[in-house]
Structure 1
Amino acid sequence: MNLDFQPVQQASHLVPESIYQQLHTLDLLDKVQVAKINPDFADGELLHEQYNVPFESELNCLVVQGKRNGLVKHAAVLVPYGRKANTGSPAKHALDVSKVSFAPLEFVIEQTNMEFGSITPLGLPNDWFILADASIFEQTDVIIGGGLVKSKLQIATKDLKQIPNLIVVENLAK
């Protein structure tokens, strides 16, 4: 990989405050790594070509909302790059909702204080869930958005499991 990773603790300017605070709370500031990237190459294929990031290490993070009886639940959905999020049965069951749809982009950006193209499962509102496809944990380390389109985070999957409200879901990616 051609990304110059360093501990978030040493490069806090590359992540939003909410991510820094959550990593501090989880005692992961020195374990999660951040790298500055050219925002023009933030997308999966371009990230792979420009920085030699293996596709199997890249994750996509999408935000969905589920509804049941007037109650709305939000969740970040983590799937391997190149696969689509299955917002059908796996997501509905994990969130205990009857309907799942993608959350409005403006709402997501406002609630997360993150940039479009770099939403990440770290530093989200406390009442949001994180649904992670089970296949992600076949990798030792993964690359996720840094909250700012100019950065990427590298996190060990064992550390990813420490994020509050994380639910590992079989067949979430299709």
Structure 2
Amino acid sequence: MDAPIGHFDHAVPAPDALGDLIRPVADAVRHWSGSVPADQIVYVDTDPRWADTAVFVEHYGRELRRQSANCVVVAGRRGSETVLAACVVLSTTRVDVNGVVRRRLGARKASFASMDTATGETGMEYGGITPLGLPEGRPVLVDPAVADLPYVLVGSGRRRGKLLVPGKAFTELPGAVLVEGLGVA
């Protein structure tokens, strides 16, 4: 199959690649119930050495930079309570953690979650975290610019491989909320 964006040697519908996905992501694909059919989510096999977005687009094509998104885990704190959320923004922007995210979570302080917290809470590899398959009940804050793209390249839960996901599908993830201004230049 040809990938809907980019040029990859190996691209298959995600339901046909469940064995290549970590369990929470495979379960999310297996039980997908969004209006976008699961077979429109595409898994592409990629080298883990090039998992970080800047390096990835240099290797697989600079045109992917404008079609890539990062998913980061943030921690919002108010007193002794900590709330974790995933934020999905275009890779050409950064997450407005101390403004938009902090206010959205009702936190006094917000920061990127530590690597141990992010990987421990998601069950995913650092550098491959994806909004598909996140633990139930976690907010998934999505910048509208991500949802507006026909396809978005995002992590697969592992450093090896990526998912190509129709932008609209991000709005249908459990806990998803579109948040204006989430990604800033």
TM over 0.5, yes or no?
A: yes
Q: What root-mean-square deviation, in Å, do the aligned CA atoms of Structure 1 and Structure 2 show?
A: 1.5
Q: Which moves more between the two structures, 62-71 or 160-169?
A: 62-71
**How many residue pairs are counted as aligned between the two chains?**
174
| Cα separation, partners in 2 of 1:138 and 1:30, compared to 1, 3 Å | closer
- 1:25-174 aligned at under 5 Å gives the runs 25-27=31-33, 28-52=37-61, 53-174=63-184
- SS of aligned partner of 1:91: helix
Of the structure 1 ranges 1-10 and 147-156, higher mean CA displacement relative to structure 2 is found in 1-10
Residue type of the alignment partner of 2:113: A
What residue identity is the alignment partner of 2:175? N
Q: Secondary structure at the match of 2:183?
A: coil
| 5+ residue gaps, structure 1 | none
Name 1:13's counterpart in structure 2.
19
Which residue identity lines up with residue 7 of structure 2 in the other structure?
A: N
- CA shift, 1:41, in A, is 1.2
Please state how far the C-alpha of 1:45 moved relative to its aligned partner.
Answer: 2.3
What TM-score, normalized by structure 2, do the two folds share?
Answer: 0.87
Which aligned runs of 4 or more in structure 1 are off by greater than 4 angstroms? none
Which stretches in structure 2 are left out of the alignment for 5+ residues? Answer: 1-5
Local SS of the residue matching 1:89:
helix
TM-aligned CA deviation for residue 92 of structure 1: 1.8
